[in-house]
A = this chain, B = another copy of it.
Amino acid sequence: MNATPAPPKQPPAQYGDLRAMFINCTLKRSDGEDSHTQRLIEVAAGVMRTQGVTVETVRAVDFELAPGVQPDMTEHGFERDDWPRLCKRVMAADILVLCTPIWLGEQSSVCRRVIERLYAESAKTGDNGQYLYYGRVGGALVTGNEDGIKHCASSLLYALNHIGYTIAPAADAGWIGEAGPGKSYGDDGCGFDNDFTQRNTTFMAWNLMHLARMLKDVGGIPAHGNLPGAWKDGQRFDHPDPAEAARRADAD
């Protein structure tokens, strides 16, 4: 029954050299309707901006992202593909937050398209031999009117993690209302006083900053045991004989 210790008044570090990118996967273009998801993005982005993080937010639907899983689809028969220029901005960011509305319980088609294109870069390696996304930190924001935050967040965070992002603790937040049709986030103030949503969004923002700070300070994930080129060349990084490992398991 200890009292919670008073937390430090000051943040433990400075974050002014960090860059964060929020990709809003709403179906609505910027020249169209307001995006409920954008309203929640601005909460997380606001926390970061206060700490000096350079924050960029984009609506993916404003870009023409060609279907396909090659880095540049104009080399595969498409006249236009905005992915290469969007990708440059992703690669410039220490933190990437995928943000999606929910439709029929799932992430949007725009979100899926962004993930397909992110995936297309995932086999590329950098100067240190690691996949390009290593050393970066990922999170997810999800809004809908009634159901699906966890399911969508699970899929978004998994995609980011699978391609190399580190996922900060509790790196998802969102808002939904009661079952059935109804208002979405920010309609008539809906969700503004939801303590759970506002707190989790804030905690997520901080945890993303903490991990990004930590990774930047130590120069990213150590380049050992996770180098596809070296593995291909025969390095095994203590990988045991699988048959021997299986015998050990069966004898257990």
Cα A164 to Cα B55 in complex, Å, equals 24
Say whether B221 contacts A197, CB under 8 Å: no
Q: Could you mark each residue 188-224 of chain A with 1 if its beta carbon is under 8 Å from any beta carbon of chain B, else 0?
A: 0101101111110111011101110011001001111
Say how far A112's CB is from chain B's closest CB, in angstroms: 4
Please name all residues of chain B whose beta carbon is closer than 8 Å to the beta carbon of A128 when the two chains form the complex: 5
Q: Does chain B have a CB within 8 A of A80?
A: no
A interface vs B, CB < 8 Å?
2, 4-8, 11-13, 27-32, 34-35, 38-43, 45-47, 50-51, 57, 61, 67-69, 76-77, 103-110, 112-113, 115-116, 119, 125, 127-129, 131, 133-134, 146-151, 153-155, 157-159, 161-172, 174-181, 186, 189, 191-192, 194-199, 201-203, 205-207, 209-211, 214-215, 218, 221-231, 233, 235-240, 242-243, 245-246, 248-250, 252
